[in-house]
Structure 1
Amino acid sequence: MATFREPEYQTDSPPQYIDPPPVELDPRNPAVKDDGRLDIDIDSSIVKYLSVIRRKSTTKPLQSYLDGDDDSDPSPPYSQFQVEEPPPFPVKLNIVIQVVGSRGDVQPFIALGNELQKDGHRVRLATHNVFDTFVRSSGLEFYPIGGDPAELMAYMVRNPGLIPSMQSLRAGDIQKKRKMMAEMLNGCWLSCIEPDPVSRAPFVADAIIANPPSFGHLHCAQALGIPVHLMFTMPWSTTKQFPHPLANIKNVRGSGIDPHVANALSYSVVEFLTWQGLGDIINEWRDTIDLEHVSFSDGPYLAEILRIPFTYCWSPALVPKPADWGSHIDVCGFFFREPPDYTPPVELNEFIRAGPPPIYIGFGSIVIDDPERMTSMILEAVQKTGVRALISRGWSNLGGPEMGNIMYLGDCPNEWLFQQVSAVIHHGGAGTTACGLVNGRPTTIVPFFGDQPFWGDMVSAAGAGPKPIPHRSLSVELLVEAIRLCLMPEAQAAAQEIAAKMKAEAGVRAAVVSFYANLPVDKLGCDIIKGLPAAWVYRGRKARLKLSKVAAEILASHLRIDIEKLKKNETRKIIIETRRWDPITGTVSAAIGVSRDMAKATADIVMKPAKAYKDRTKATSSELSMNQPVQTLDSIAGHAAGNDRYTASEKKAKGRDCMTLTTSMSVASASGVAGFFKSYAGGLITIPYAFTEGFRNIPHLYGEEVRDIGIITDWKSGTAAGAKAFVYGFVNGVSGVFVLPYKGAQQEGALGAIKGVGKGVARISSKLFTGKFFITNLYIRLDISRNGYFNFK
C-alpha cells in the first residue's frame, strides 16, 4: 500500500483567487460571457432547485456550507505534495488511460503512462485517432476512440461556454458533437476490452485512469468491476474556494447567500447543464454495455456521490488544495514528460542568438476563426514594443510577411523553446502554462475557452503576468501593454519564485503514488501466481481463491477446480442507486422514464423493420456487385431469347433473398413489440415503487434523518432491506408521535410542539404505509430485475 508523508506547510501565502475584470456580454448569446464563462444568477429558481438537490445528496462540502458549518480556512497555505516512495507495487496491472482533448491534454498523460511503465505495468493510452504516432513514439500502446480534436477545438472556440450559439445551432454543430460523443463513448468501452490494434495482443483493463471529459470512465469501470481514478488540469470537484472555471456568478451580494456557498453551487449548475446535454447519450450507450440508466437527479454528481479518487495535475504553488476537499482528492503538481531529444534547425538557432532573447507568441491547437486578423495584431504589437518574437503557426497556421525581428515556427517542443525566450504569450492551456512557469517565464494568457481564463487569473494573481485578455477583447493596445508588463523586473522575479517551487515538485511520481494509494491492493492480486492481477474468484467448499487468467487455466486443465464455480473478480464494485427524494418528484421522474422507454419501443416497432430492410438491401446490392459475373454477349442473347437457364436461377436467388428479408423484418418488429411490453410491465412496478420510496424519504423534507436500508444487489440483500424498511418504518413511525412534539417544544415552545405533532402524524402515516408497501414491491422487483441489480429507471 502506498504511503504519504504529511505535507510540509510553508509560511508564505498562495496567490488569492481574483475575479477577472468585467467583460461585456456577447449580444448573440447573453448568457455567456466573452471569456467563455457561463453567467449564473445565484438568485434564480434553477440555482435554488439545484441547491435543494445537492443538499439531499451525499456531497459533504456543499451540505456543510448550506447548513452553516463553514469553519475551514478560506486561504490554505502553499503545501508541496511530499512523496514517501512506497515499496514496488505488488501487482502488474493492465491500465487504460482515457483522454479526450487536444495534444496539450494528451501530453501530460504520456508522462504518466511512461512512469507507470517503469513500475512494470502494461499501459494503453486511449485517445483520438490523430494522436496514434504521437503516443506510440513515446513507447505506449495506443487505442483509437474516434472523435476529431480539431473539430472539437473549433466548436469550443465558437461556443466557449456551455450554451451553444444560434450560429452553431443553425450549422448543425450540436448534432455533430453529440454523434462524435457517442462514437467516443463506444471507443472508450472498446479500449478496455479489445486487443491491441497493431500487435493483436489481448488486453482487458484492470484499472482505468481518465480525464473527466472522456465521460465513459466511470461507466466502463462499473461494467467491469474495476477501479477508476480521475485526473485533470482544471477544478472539477465542488469547493467554496473559487467558482467553477466555466462559471461567472452574479447577484451574490443581493441574494444574501454567502459567496463560499455561491462558489460551491456553481459546480452544481455546470454539472447539471453538462448532463442535460449528454445524459441521454450516456444512458443510450449504457444500454449497449448492459447497464441501467442513470437518473436525472444523480447523473450530474456521480463522481462526488461515489467519492471517485481524483488527482489534480497542477502545482500547489499556483492553486493549493482547498481545505474542503477530502482525502480522496490530491493536488500533486504539473505533469512534465522527459525533455525530448531535440536539435533545433540552423535557422532557429541563428535567430535566437542574433540578439536579445525573443518573446514567444502562439496558440497551439486552438483553431482561430480569423487567423489573418490575429496575425496582423501580433505583428503590429511586436513592432510597437520593439521586441524580437518567435510566432508559432499552430493549428491556425498563423503567418505573415518576413521581418528581421520575427520568425515563424512549425512544430517545436516547448520544453526546449521556453528556455530560450524572455516571456510567453499563449492561450492558457494547463500544460503550456506549466511549461512557461517552470522555466521562470512571465506569462500573458489570451484565453479562448475551458480552464484557460482560470489559469490566466492564477498567473495574474501570482504577479507573473497581466490579467488574462479574452481573445475577443484582444487589441493591439492591450497586447502592447501585456508585453511591456511581462518584461518588467517584478514579473520576472515572481515567475522565478514560482519556478523554484515547481522544480522541487515531482508531479508525475506524486500522481502515481496517489493512484496506488486508492487501489484495493488486497483484491487485485492472484493468490497462486504472485504479481498477476486476479480476474476470477473461485469459491470451493474449503477455500476462496482469487485467480489470474493463467492460474485459472492451469488449475482447470488439471481438474483442480470446477470452472463453473468461477466468478468475475470485481475489485471495485460500483452500484448506482436511483434515489427518490419525495413521492411527487419520485413518481413523476419514474413516469417520465417509463413513458420515454415506451415511446422509444413504439418507434422501434416501425424503425427496426425499416432498418432491417435497409441493411438487407444494402447487403444484397454489395453481394451482387462483388459476385455478379461480367455479362457476355451470349448471356445477353440468352436473356433476350427468354433462355430459362438464367431466369430460373435468378428467380430462385430472389426467392431466398425475399424469405431472408421477410424473416429479418419480422424478427425486428417482434423485438420492438417485446420492448414495448417490457417497458409497460416494468412501469407497473417502477412507478409504484418510486412513489413508495419517495414516501420513505418524506422526513428529509423537514430535516429528519432517514435510516439507510443498505444497497440491494441480490435476493439476500433485498430481503434484508425489505425487513429493515418494514421494522424501521414501524418503530420510527410510532416513536415519532411522541419524540417529535417533545423536540419541537424544546426548540420553539408551544409552536414547535404543534409542528412536532404534525411531523409525527406525517411520519407515522408515511412509515407504516411505506413499510407495508415496500416489502411487497421489493420481491416483485427482485423477480424481474436483470443482472441481480436492484436499480430501475
Structure 2
Amino acid sequence: MRITVITFGTEGDTRPIIALCHGLQAKGHQVTLLVERTALNLAQSWKVRAQALSGDMLASLQAQGVLSPLMKKGGDATQLSKALAKIASENTAAWMQVLVEQAQGSDLILYSGLAAYVGLSVADYLRIPAIGLGLWPMSPTREFPSPLLPPWHLTGWLNYISHLAINGLLWRLFRKTLNQARQQVCGQAPRYKMWRDYPILYGVSPHLVPTPHDWLPVWKLCGNWQLPLSSGWQAPSALQDFLATGEPPIYVGFGSMAGFDQQRLLNIVVEATQGKRVVFLAGWSGIRAEQLPKHFFMVNNIPHDWLFPKMSLIIHHGGAGTTHAAARAGIPEIILPFAGDQFFWAGRLADLGISPEYIASQKITAESLATHIQFAQQANVQAKAKTLGLLMEQEDGIQAAIQQIETWMIKPMLLQ
C-alpha cells in the first residue's frame, strides 16, 4: 500500500509514529511522513521518507512560547487546549495543502496529534480511507476520565461525560480555523459536527491501560510503538565506564519539556538525590553539563530500551513514550508531570503500585521527592515493576498495529 502519514508534536509525540512508519516499510508498504521539522533527522536515520511541516514545537515550549506558561505554572485542560489550538491555527492551511499534495494516489492516510482534523478533512476530500493514531486513550469510556484531566476516580457516567466534554472543547477551539482551511485549500463546505466513531489505533500497552469494555471495535490498544536498537549501535565508552563503577544509578530526564524554571527543578533533584549516582538526560530543557554536580552523568540521545534496564529508578516528566519504556524495562518510576496526558500516566502508575502518588513538577519539593524515592526503592514496588515489565516484553505493538491496518484495508470502504 501507499500510505501518507501526518503528525505534529514534540519529539516524544513523533518518535512512536516514526517507529510505526519504519515497521510499515519493513512490511513492504510505501510510506511518506509529514512531521514537525525537528523529527526529520530521526525519520531519515531510519530511512523513512519525511517532509517537514510548518511550525516550531520547540519554540512553542520555550520562554516566549504559547506553551511556556503551562510549563512554569501548570494549567488546566482548557488552558492547554487553547494553547494547542493556537499552534494549530497558525499552520492548519499549510498542513492541509501539503497533505493534499502528498496524499494524491495514496491508499490510506494515517493521522495523529495536532494534525488529526487536517487528516480527517483531507481523507474526506480525496475519498481515501483514514485511520487515527493515538498515544493516549482519548476515545470515550466509563472506565476512566479523559487523559487531559487529572486522574480523578469518578463514577462511570461522569468519566464518560468528561471525554465528551474535553473532545468537544478541542473541536470547538479547532473548528473555525479548520473550516477556513477546508474552504481555502479544498473548497469544502464547513463542518459543524465533530467526527465520531472513526477507527483509531493506540500505541498504548493494554497492561498499562486495560482495553475498556465499552469501547467500539474500531478503537484498539496495540501496545507501545518503539524503534529497535540500530544495528551496530554502541553506548559511549564514558557512559559504560560510569555504569560499571557502582550501583545502578537513578535516571532523571524531562524529555521535550522546555520553558520551565529549570534551575529550581534541577536544585530540587540535586538535593533529593544526594549520595546517589544520577544519569541525566537534558532533552529540550536547555540544562547544560556545567550546571550539574559531580554525581550526575549527562547523556544525550541514548536509547531508552538500552539505558533504562540498567537504572534503579526512572524520574521523568510522564510522556507516554518514556512511561512505556520505563515500565517495559521493569523499573519503578516517579513522574513529575508538567501538563496534558502526563498526569494520566502518573495516575495509572500509582494505581499499579509502581510509582508513588504524583506531585506536579511545579509543586514538588526536595523533601517530597526524597520521600518518593524511598517509596520507589521498596522491595514490593520493585517486584511489581519487574512483573509488569515481563508482561510488556511480550507485546509487539508495531506488528499488532500493522496487522490491524492490513485487516481493515481488505474492506477499506468500512473506514470511509
CA distance in 2, matches of 1:522, 1:412: 41
Larger RCO, structures 1/2 (Cα 8 Å, 6+ apart): 2
Greater CA deviation, 184-193 or 466-475?
Answer: 184-193
Secondary structure at 2:201's aligned position in 1?
strand
> Does the Cα contact within 8 Å between 1:212 and 1:230 map onto a contact in 2?
no
1:333 aligns with 2:234: no
Alignment coverage as a number of residue pairs: 405
Distance apart, 1:248 and its partner CA: 4.9
> Paired residue for 1:350?
241
Secondary structure at 1:216's aligned position in 2?
helix
Distance apart, 1:515 and its partner CA: 1.4
Matches within 5 A, 1:643-662: none
CA distance in 2, matches of 1:573, 1:315: 24
Matches within 5 A, 1:294-305: 294-295=191-192, 298-299=193-194, 302=195, 304=196
1:98 aligns with 2:13: no
Structure 1 residues 393 and 292, CA gap change in structure 2 (3 angstroms): same
Root-mean-square deviation over aligned CA pairs: 2.4
**For the pair shown, which has the larger CA radius of gyration, 1 or 2?**
1
Match of 2:144 among 239, 242, 246: 242
1:229 aligns with 2:131: yes
CA distance in 2, matches of 1:507, 1:104: 16
Matches within 5 A, 1:137-148: 137-148=45-56
Distance apart, 1:405 and its partner CA: 2.2
1:459 aligns with 2:367: no
Match of 2:265 among 358, 374, 382: 374
Distance apart, 1:443 and its partner CA: 0.5
Partner deviation per Cα, 1:616-665 (whole Å, 9 max, x = no partner): xxxxxxxxxxxxxxxxxxxxxxxxxxxxxxxxxxxxxxxxxxxxxxxxxx
> Paired residue for 1:156?
67
Distance apart, 1:402 and its partner CA: 5.2
Higher helix residue share:
1
> Paired residue for 1:406?
296
1:423 aligns with 2:313: yes
Distance apart, 1:375 and its partner CA: 1.1
> Does the Cα contact within 8 Å between 2:77 and 2:149 map onto a contact in 1?
no
TM-score (norm 1): 0.49
1:388 aligns with 2:303: no
> Does the Cα contact within 8 Å between 1:193 and 1:205 map onto a contact in 2?
no
1:293 aligns with 2:190: yes
> Paired residue for 2:121?
219
Secondary structure at 1:164's aligned position in 2?
helix
CA distance in 2, matches of 1:360, 1:431: 15
CA distance in 1, matches of 2:174, 2:293: 48
1:284 aligns with 2:284: no
Q: Which amino acid aligns with 2:17?
A: F
> Paired residue for 2:106?
205
Matches within 5 A, 1:70-89: none
Structure 1 residues 572 and 281, CA gap change in structure 2 (3 angstroms): farther
Secondary structure at 2:211's aligned position in 1?
coil
Secondary structure at 1:471's aligned position in 2?
coil
Distance apart, 1:518 and its partner CA: 2.1
Q: What 5-or-longer segments of structure 2 have no aligned partner? A: none
**Percent same amino acid among aligned pairs?**
27
Secondary structure at 2:133's aligned position in 1?
strand
> Does the Cα contact within 8 Å between 1:465 and 1:486 map onto a contact in 2?
yes
Distance apart, 1:134 and its partner CA: 1.4
Partner deviation per Cα, 1:338-383 (whole Å, 9 max, x = no partner): 1134322222121111110100001011004211111111111111
Distance apart, 1:162 and its partner CA: 3.5
> Paired residue for 1:263?
159
> Does the Cα contact within 8 Å between 2:149 and 2:343 map onto a contact in 1?
no
> Does the Cα contact within 8 Å between 1:145 and 1:191 map onto a contact in 2?
no
CA distance in 2, matches of 1:181, 1:261: 32
CA distance in 2, matches of 1:416, 1:310: 30
Q: Which amino acid aligns with 2:142?
A: K
Q: Which amino acid aligns with 1:293?
A: P
TM-score (norm 2): 0.91
1:443 aligns with 2:333: yes
Structure 1 residues 249 and 351, CA gap change in structure 2 (3 angstroms): closer
> Paired residue for 1:314?
204
Partner deviation per Cα, 1:63-91 (whole Å, 9 max, x = no partner): xxxxxxxxxxxxxxxxxxxxxxxxxxxxx
CA distance in 1, matches of 2:327, 2:157: 32
Structure 1 residues 514 and 380, CA gap change in structure 2 (3 angstroms): same
Q: Which amino acid aligns with 2:190?
A: H
Q: Which amino acid aligns with 1:116?
A: L
Q: What 5-or-longer segments of structure 1 have no aligned partner? A: 1-92, 196-202, 253-258, 524-570, 575-793
1:111 aligns with 2:19: yes
CA distance in 2, matches of 1:316, 1:98: 25
Structure 1 residues 249 and 502, CA gap change in structure 2 (3 angstroms): closer
CA distance in 2, matches of 1:333, 1:573: 22
Structure 1 residues 412 and 179, CA gap change in structure 2 (3 angstroms): closer
> Does the Cα contact within 8 Å between 1:240 and 1:263 map onto a contact in 2?
yes
Q: Which amino acid aligns with 1:446?
A: L
Distance apart, 1:441 and its partner CA: 0.8
CA distance in 2, matches of 1:438, 1:505: 9
Match of 1:500 among 367, 390, 393: 390
Partner deviation per Cα, 1:134-163 (whole Å, 9 max, x = no partner): 111111110212111113444335234343
Structure 1 residues 573 and 440, CA gap change in structure 2 (3 angstroms): closer
Distance apart, 1:310 and its partner CA: 1.2
Secondary structure at 1:472's aligned position in 2?
coil
Q: Which amino acid aligns with 2:265?
A: M
Structure 1 residues 102 and 511, CA gap change in structure 2 (3 angstroms): same
> Paired residue for 1:564?
none
